Structures are given as C-alpha cells and as structure tokens.
Amino acid sequence: MGRASLEQLAQRLTRDARITVLTGAGVSAASGVPTFRGAGGLWKQFAPETLATPQAFARDPALVWEWYDWRRQTIAACAPNAAHRVLANWSRRFPSFQLITQNVDGLHERAGTERVLRLHGSIWEVSCWQRCAAAPARWRNEDAPLQRIPPTCPHCGGLVRPGVVWFGEGLDPDVLDAAQAASDCDVFLTVGTSSVVYPAASFFEEARRHGAFTVEVNPEATPASAMADLVFRAPAEVVLPELKLP
Ligand code: BJW
Ligand code: ZN
C-alpha cells in the first residue's frame, strides 16, 4: 500500500471537508460476516439474487427465513473490526462526515458511528408481509436463532418478513434523498463493495459529477476502480487504520 497515496488522502481529510463514505459487505468481512459475491459468498449453493427477492419469499418463506436465521446467528457472534472503528472515529471528528452503508448487520452502529444511512434496511428488524393495519411499519426482533421459522406477525398471525430491501424493491425515499445529498461532497470513499448493485453504485458516479476526490478501498477490482482518483487494493481493516490524520 503506497505511503504517498496514504498521505495524499490524509491531507484531504481536513476538519471542514465534506467526507462521505459508502460501505458494503467487505467492511464486515474481517468481523466474520460473509460477503454476498465471491469466495464464501454462497449459502447452500444459493446465489443471493435467488433468495433476496419478494418472489423467492412468496414461493418459499421458510427457505428464505432459514438463510436469514443463519445470517442473524452468524452476525450476532461478530463484533466490529478496525475498519468500523476508524469510521466511527471519523464520524465524531469531522462535522460534515456522512456514512452510507449497504450493510444490514448493524456493525457500524455497534462501533458507535454517528450519521449512518442504511440503504438496505436492517437484518434486526421485521415487518408484516401482509402489511396488516394493526402492525407498526416495522419492529425489532433480535432473536437468534428465531423461535420458529417462518416467524409470524403478532397482530394478524400471518407471515413477517425481514426488514431489508430486496431486489426489485424501492429504497426508503428519505434515505435515498439523504444519500444523494451526501454524494455532493469533497471526498468520497467507496469501501468494501463490489459496486454492482444500484442505486448504491450510482453515488460514486454522482460524487464524481460534483467534483469530489474519489477513493476506492477494496482488495479486488470493481466497476468503480477505473473512475477513482485513488485506489487502495487492500483490505479496509488494514488501509483505514494506516491513515495518519494531521
Ligand atoms: C473487501 C474485503 C475487505 C472483501 N476489505 N473489501 C440500474 C442498472 C441495473 C440494475 C438496476 C439499476 N437500478 C436498479 C436495478 C435493479 C437492482 C440492481 O442493482 N441489480 C443489479 C445487481 C444488476 N436494484 C434493485 O432492485 C434495488 N432497488 C431499486 O433500484 O428500486 C427501484 C427499482 C425497482 C424495480 C426495478 C428497477 C428499479 C434494490 C437493491 C437491493 C439489494 N439488496 C441486497 C440484499 C439486502 C438484504 C440482505 O442483506 O439480505 O443488498 S443484495 C446484496 O448486494 C445486499 C448488499 O447490500 C448488496 C451489495 O453487495 P456488496 O455490499 O457490494 O457486497 P458484495 O459481496 O457484492 O461485495 C463485497 C466486496 O467486498 C467485494 O468487492 C470484495 O472484493 C470486497 N472485500 N473483503 C475491503 N476485508
Ligand atoms: Zn400482520
């Protein structure tokens, strides 16, 4: 990892800089949370695209819940790593810092990060699949393992679903607006994401359009790599702690 590149980035992280960081599954990899794509990304031979959809849930809710139950148990046993901790520090140090995460694991929050925008919801929340009138829009459920699969709505007895955003579903419009606004920044880092899922992947391009200095931290190349001003081809938990801020 280039010392010169580290210094180049550190110099841009000034107190008044508007710094936005977009994270993906790779930021939690060192905590032991499996990523979606690439080595170790599969659960029982199922690609995430075949499980993370409303159609898959409608077809076989128990199968989809088994996957989420396995992930919830895995995440419950994980703790934030050095990358989460550095970003939590930045959120306290830089008044205009904004974190946008695609992760549903809650590890940024557990590390104490302020101003977290969760694009894809939370694996620790659920909602009524029928959207029955008696149930709130969503509520927390931290049982790991779940008491029964599939879990049921305490208000109507029907199915509940994970409080996450599946393929083909829209993101929360307020969160989306806030993430778009945060893409107008001075320094934009994309950390541990394959940059293939939209609209999350568009924020990097959006930041460039606004003239931001763009940085990628990822051991593998992604569609964002060719556009970045700086690329750190190394794990987030190694690169971020190496940055020596003035
Ligand atoms: C490390 C590391 C270490 C490893 N350190 N790095 C425009 C163009 C084409 C398609 C679309 C488009 N707009 C919308 C779409 C459709 C679709 C989409 O994007 N499809 C593409 C895949 C083609 N998008 C949607 O449907 C979205 N909704 C939407 O746009 O609504 C409007 C609309 C509706 C209908 C039609 C059209 C528009 C919703 C997307 C929801 C994504 N949901 C999931 C599941 C969430 C719930 C759950 O967790 O179960 O979100 S899918 C999954 O992918 C999850 C992730 O958040 C997301 C991104 O994955 P991520 O984080 O990048 O992980 P990986 O595994 O892919 O990559 C890990 C990376 O880490 C790798 O690069 C490693 O190298 C790296 N790494 N160790 C640093 N130590
Ligand atoms: Zn209900």
- Ligand 1 pocket test target in 1, 31, 36 with most atoms within 8 Å of CB: 36
pLDDT given for residue 42 in this prediction: 81
- The answer on 95 and 198 residing in a single domain is yes
> Given this model, what pLDDT does residue 2 score?
83
Q: Measured from the CA of 119, which atom of ligand 1 is nearest?
A: 57
Ligand 1: does its nearest atom lie under 6 Å from the Cβ of 223?
A: no
Residue 3: predicted pLDDT: 86
Same domain, yes or no: 126 and 235: no
Tell me how far CA of residue 203 lies from CA of 54, 87, 111, 230, in angstroms.
Answer: 25, 18, 24, 16
| Predicted local confidence at residue 180, as pLDDT | 98
In a shared domain, residues 85 and 26: yes
Asked if 185 and 232 sit in the same domain, the reply is: yes
Identify the three-state secondary structure at position 19.
strand
pLDDT at position 38: 81
CA distance 72 to 123: 7
- Separation of CA 128 and ligand 1 centre (Å): 24
Q: How many domains does the chain contain in total?
A: 2
The pLDDT, as a whole number, for residue 167 is 97
Q: Is residue 120 annotated as a catalytic residue, yes or no? A: yes
Question: How much is the pLDDT for 39?
Answer: 76
Tell me: do 28 and 106 sit in the same domain. yes
* Residues 6 or more apart in contact with residue 183 via CB below 8 angstroms: 20, 203, 206, 207, 210, 212
Spell out, as residue ranges, where the chain has pLDDT lower than 50.
none
**Cα(155) to centroid(ligand 1), Å:** 32
**Which strands, in side-by-side order, build the sheet including 160-164?**
139-140, 121-128, 160-164
> Which ligand ends up closest to the CA of 82?
1
Pair 151, 227 in one domain: no
The pTM of the full predicted model, rounded to 2 decimals, is 0.97
**Residue-averaged pLDDT of the chain:** 96
Of 130, 127, 155, 156, nearest in space to 141 by CA: 127
Query: Where in the sequence is the domain holding 132, given as residue range(s)?
Result: 34-77+122-164
C-alpha to C-alpha distance for 64 and 53, rounded to whole angstroms:
9
- Give the separation between CA 144 and CA 224, rounded to whole angstroms: 35
Domain match, 190 and 216 both: yes
Tokens 């970045």 appear where? 228
The pLDDT of residue 1 is: 66
| Residue 116 near residue 99 (C-beta atoms within 8 A) | yes
